[in-house]
């Protein structure tokens, strides 16, 4: 089955700097790659997603890139703000199969 690896497990950045979180997946048939943000004590919320027919997608300060050949995708957050501090999860799936999640990255933005 699918296996998703996520790095780093923790990340600290200064406010205003960029943050990058990387994930790799094992199943070349996976075609949907969402990113979720989970604030302390709350439910995960979808922040951006990308499908395998697209190489990059951007939404204001966040972007996701996908390299199908290398089977990895990354989340980029620019101009980080304290409210970006949270745990971020990547995931992958194909068709109607359940999402397989990475282990998460705890991002801390230092003011």
Partner 1 sequence: DGGITQSPKYLFRKEGQNVTLSCEQNLNHDAMYWYRQDPGQGLRLIYYSQIVNDFQKGDIAEGYSVSREKKESFPLTVTSAQKNPTAFYLCASRDQYATNEKLFFGSGTQLSVL
Residues that bind partner 1 (CB under 8 A): 1, 6, 9, 32, 34, 42-46, 49, 89, 93, 96, 98-104
Q: Token pair 């101009």 is at which residue?
A: 79
Cβ-contact 63, 76 below 8 angstroms: yes
Q: Token pair 């199969």 is at which residue?
A: 97
Instruction: Name the residue nearer to partner 1 (CB basis): 20 or 101.
Output: 101
Instruction: Name the residue nearer to partner 1 (CB basis): 1 or 69.
Output: 1
Structure tokens at 19: 């943050």
C-alpha span between 109 and 99 (Å, rounded) = 28
CB 100 to partner 1: min, Å:
7
Instruction: Name the residue nearer to partner 1 (CB basis): 63 or 101.
Output: 101
């Amino acid at each position: 089955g699918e296996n998703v690896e996520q790095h780093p497990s923790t990340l600290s950045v200064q406010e205003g700097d960029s943050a990058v979180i990387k994930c790799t997946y094992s199943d070349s048939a996976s075609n949907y790659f969402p990113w979720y943000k989970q604030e302390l004590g709350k439910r995960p919320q979808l922040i951006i997603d990308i499908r395998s027919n697209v190489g990059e997608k951007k939404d204001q300060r966040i972007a996701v890139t996908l390299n199908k050949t290398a089977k990895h995708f990354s989340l980029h957050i620019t101009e980080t703000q304290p409210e970006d501090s949270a745990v971020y999860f990547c995931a992958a799936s194909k068709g109607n199969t359940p999402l397989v999640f990475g282990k998460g990255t705890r991002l801390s933005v230092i003011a």
